[in-house]
A and B are shown apart, each in its own frame.
Chain A
Amino acid sequence: MFMRFFHRMASPPYFYVISGRWLPWLAVICLALILAGLYGGLVEAPADYQQGDSFRIIYIHVPSAWMSLFIYVVMAVAGGIGLIWHIKLAEMVAVSSAPIGASFTFLALVTGSLWGKPMWGTWWVWDGRLTSELILLFLYLGVIALYGAIDDKRRAGRAAAILALVGVVNIPIIHYSVEWWNTLHQGPTVTKFDKPSIHISMLIPLLLMAGGFKLFYLIAVLMRLRSEILERERNSKWVTALVGSEDRRQKTEDRVQESDVDPRRVGP
Chain B
Amino acid sequence: MKQVVCMKRRSTLNAFYFLLKRDLILNFRRRAEIANPLLFFVIVITLFPLGVGAKPQLLQSMAPGVIWVAALLAAMLSLDRIFRSDFEDGSLEQLLLSAHPVSVLVLAKVAAHWLVTGLPLLVVAPLLAVLLGLPVDAMGVLVVTLLLGTPVLSLVGAIGVALTVGLRRGGIILSLLVLPLYIPVLIFASNAVDMAAGGLPVTAQLSMLAAFLALALALAPWPAAAALRISLS
Interface residues of A (CB under 8 A from B): 83, 135, 138-139, 141-142, 145-146, 149-150, 155, 158-159, 162-163, 165-167, 169-170, 173-174, 177-178, 180-181, 184
- Check if B180 sits within 8 Å of A138, measured CB to CB: yes
Cα A150 to Cα B177 in complex, Å, equals 14
Cα A145 to Cα B226 in complex, Å, equals 19
- Check if A174 sits within 8 Å of B219, measured CB to CB: no
- Check if B180 sits within 8 Å of A142, measured CB to CB: yes
Selecting from B89-97, B103-111, B131-139, B181-189, the interface stretch reads B181-189
Cα A184 to Cα B212 in complex, Å, equals 20
Across the interface, name the chain B residue whose C-beta is closest to A148: B173
**Total interface residues in chain B, CB < 8 Å:** 26
* A/B interface sample: 27 pairs, CB < 8 A: A135-B183, A138-B179, A142-B173, A145-B176, A146-B164, A146-B177, A149-B164, A150-B167, A158-B230, A159-B163, A162-B159, A162-B163, A162-B223, A162-B227, A162-B230, A163-B159, A163-B163, A163-B177, A166-B181, A169-B219, A170-B181, A173-B184, A174-B183, A174-B184, A177-B183, A177-B187, A181-B187
- Check if A166 sits within 8 Å of B184, measured CB to CB: no
Question: B172 CB to closest chain A CB, in angstroms?
Answer: 9
On chain A, the residues within 8 Å of B49 by CB distance are none
Cα A173 to Cα B156 in complex, Å, equals 14
Cα A181 to Cα B159 in complex, Å, equals 26
On chain A, the residues within 8 Å of B191 by CB distance are 181, 184
- Check if A142 sits within 8 Å of B184, measured CB to CB: no
Cα A181 to Cα B231 in complex, Å, equals 36
Cα A58 to Cα B103 in complex, Å, equals 46
On chain B, the residues within 8 Å of A145 by CB distance are 173, 176-177
On chain A, the residues within 8 Å of B226 by CB distance are 83, 162
On chain A, the residues within 8 Å of B159 by CB distance are 162-163, 166
The reply to whether the CB of B201 lies closer than 8 angstroms to some CB of chain A is no
- Check if B187 sits within 8 Å of A146, measured CB to CB: no
Question: A131 CB to closest chain B CB, in angstroms?
Answer: 9
Residue B187 contacts which of A149, A159, A169, A178 (CB distance < 8 angstroms)? A178
Question: A3 CB to closest chain B CB, in angstroms?
Answer: 27
Cα A166 to Cα B177 in complex, Å, equals 10
- Check if A142 sits within 8 Å of B177, measured CB to CB: yes
With A149-B167, A180-B187: A139-B180 Cβ-Cβ less than 8 Å: yes
The reply to whether the CB of B170 lies closer than 8 angstroms to some CB of chain A is yes
The reply to whether the CB of B126 lies closer than 8 angstroms to some CB of chain A is no
- Check if B223 sits within 8 Å of A165, measured CB to CB: yes
Cα A180 to Cα B163 in complex, Å, equals 31
On chain A, the residues within 8 Å of B166 by CB distance are 150
Extra A-B contacts (5), CB below 8 Å, given A158-B230, A162-B159: A159-B227, A163-B177, A173-B212, A181-B187, A181-B191
The reply to whether the CB of B203 lies closer than 8 angstroms to some CB of chain A is no
On chain B, the residues within 8 Å of A166 by CB distance are 159, 181, 223
Cα A145 to Cα B191 in complex, Å, equals 31
On chain B, the residues within 8 Å of A170 by CB distance are 180-181, 184
Residue B233 contacts which of A139, A142, A155, A178 (CB distance < 8 angstroms)? A155
Residue A141 contacts which of B164, B176, B227, B233 (CB distance < 8 angstroms)? B176
- Check if B176 sits within 8 Å of A142, measured CB to CB: yes
On chain B, the residues within 8 Å of A163 by CB distance are 159, 163, 177
Most chain A C-beta atoms within 10 Å of own C-beta, residue among B177, B188, B212, B227: B177
On chain B, the residues within 8 Å of A146 by CB distance are 163-164, 173, 177
Question: B184 CB to closest chain A CB, in angstroms?
Answer: 4
With A159-B230, A166-B159: A149-B170 Cβ-Cβ less than 8 Å: yes
Interface string of B160-171 (1 = CB under 8 A from A): 000110110110
- Check if A138 sits within 8 Å of B176, measured CB to CB: yes
- Check if A149 sits within 8 Å of B177, measured CB to CB: no
Interface string of B218-231 (1 = CB under 8 A from A): 01000100110011
- Check if A159 sits within 8 Å of B219, measured CB to CB: no
Residue A177 contacts which of B167, B179, B188, B233 (CB distance < 8 angstroms)? B188
Question: B208 CB to closest chain A CB, in angstroms?
Answer: 8
On chain A, the residues within 8 Å of B187 by CB distance are 177-178, 180-181
On chain B, the residues within 8 Å of A165 by CB distance are 223
Question: B185 CB to closest chain A CB, in angstroms?
Answer: 9
On chain A, the residues within 8 Å of B183 by CB distance are 135, 174, 177-178
On chain B, the residues within 8 Å of A83 by CB distance are 226
On chain B, the residues within 8 Å of A158 by CB distance are 230
Cα A109 to Cα B184 in complex, Å, equals 21
